[in-house]
Amino acid sequence: MNDLITKKPDGFSFRLTKAAILGAVALAIAAIVVLGLLNVVIGPNTARAGYLAMLFLLSPVRTFVLKTRVLSACWAVAVAVAGFLIGGLGFWPMLIGVMLVCIVQGMFRIGEIASLSRSPVNFVVFAGIGATGSMELWHVIVGSIAGASVMLLVGWLNPQKSGKLEQPTSTHQRLWYGFMFASGSVLILLLGQLVGKTFTEWTLLTFCMILSVGFDNRVSRVHQRMFGTIAGALFAALMMFAPEPAQTAAAAICGILGLAYINMGNYALFVAFLTPAILLTSSSELPGYVLAGERVIAGLVAAGIALAVSWIFDPFSKAKADRFAAPVVPAE
């Protein structure tokens, strides 16, 4: 896999290949065209659902296993619909839903690699949308299917070279991995409910990204995530003093560079450019330095929780490891 869920986090480098840049530009153009059409033909709600589905599948579509790509796309739609439907039932039913989603996500794990990572994030986002009543169910379905279809098409047009796959993971280990995801996700949501902070989703996303790599690489992932968050947040805070259209242009450039670096497998710079792309396009009344500070605090909280649950759950998971010896044959 040539993406942000690699087994070994890569070193720091500004290097970009022509293929990585062209792939990022192509994906950005495809996203703009499809989301723009959804916005004009149906409305902004459907476009937002499509955008969230694209973010969900940013990593899974880069695997060369066709079955994984298709299942991930179907799961993205299912998570969106389930989150939307349960959102109106209140916080506690939503919390139970998050736990179930995390356990299912754990079943997508192969060896030390999590082919899916942000299921609880999208579930919580759509639950929040469902609770407000600002979107219809069919908007969620149509937008999610459209976004997932675009990502599947991008993955098909830009296939990754096949390589050595991790050995399959036993059901026991996958369940433990799901329980680890669930415990940390629930703790983050409970803390958010307790202190009333608005950056719970960013904390949850950071937590998921840290756990997407193997135990031995999670400290490195924390370093990469925090470097990217701090650098990106500082740049965004400075750019918020600039007039338009400078902010929009900076957000667009950062978004394309972020996609290019994810194509290179450079996670630190992916986050460094993704952070300002998100902050500069966020609608918030808070000052830029407050938004930037919130992202840094959220990253620190998520890192602490991710490392804590890793130290608790991984020894139990490895104690009864039951790996298969049969080689994995990539799907055609």
Which pLDDT score is estimated for 164? 53
Find the range with the poorest average confidence among 106-120, 173-187, 314-328: 314-328
Q: Please check the confidence at residue 319 and state whether its pLDDT lies above 70.
A: no
pLDDT digits (tens, 9 = 90+) for 111-148: 555 567 789 999 999 999 998 888 899 999 999 999 99
Contacts 24+ apart (CB under 8 A), 243-248: 247/280, 248/280, 248/281
The span from the CA of 243 to the CA of 317, in Å, is 52
Residue type, 71: L
Predicted TM-score of the model (pTM): 0.83
Place of tokens 């298969």: 324
Domain layout of the chain by residue ranges = 19-169, 198-319
Rg (C-alpha) for the chain, rounded Å, is: 19
Which pLDDT score is estimated for 316? 55
Residue type, 116: L
The span from the CA of 267 to the CA of 275, in Å, is 12
Which pLDDT score is estimated for 95? 95
Percent of the chain, pLDDT > 70?
A: 81
Q: How many CA atoms lie within 13 A of 149 on its CB side?
A: 9
pLDDT digits (tens, 9 = 90+) for 40-60: 999 999 999 999 999 888 877
Residues 6+ positions from 121 with CB-CB distance below 8 Å: 201, 204, 205, 208
- Among left, alpha and beta (phi > 0; psi -120 to 50; other), residue 111 is left
Helix, strand, coil percentages in the chain from 3-state DSSP, rounded to 5: 70, 0, 25
The span from the CA of 279 to the CA of 292, in Å, is 8
Based on the number of CB atoms within 10 Å of its own CB, is 5 exposed (0-12), middle (13-18) or buried (19 or more)?
A: buried
pLDDT digits (tens, 9 = 90+) for 273-301: 988 888 888 766 667 677 778 888 888 89
Q: Please check the confidence at residue 200 and state whether its pLDDT lies above 90.
A: no
pLDDT band at 64 (very low <50, low <70, confident <90, very high): low
Which pLDDT score is estimated for 49? 94
Tell me the C-alpha to C-alpha distance, in Å, between residue 296 and each of 78, 96, 138, 216, 246: 31, 28, 36, 23, 24
| 9 vs 193 pLDDT, higher one | 193
Residues 6+ positions from 97 with CB-CB distance below 8 Å: 82, 83, 86, 123, 127
Cβ-count burial 209-238 (b if 16+ within 10 Å, e if not): bbbbbbbebbebbbebbbbbbbbbbbbbbe
pLDDT band at 325 (very low <50, low <70, confident <90, very high): very low
Question: Mean pLDDT throughout 239-265?
Answer: 87
Token pair of 73, please?
């796309």
Which pLDDT score is estimated for 329? 38
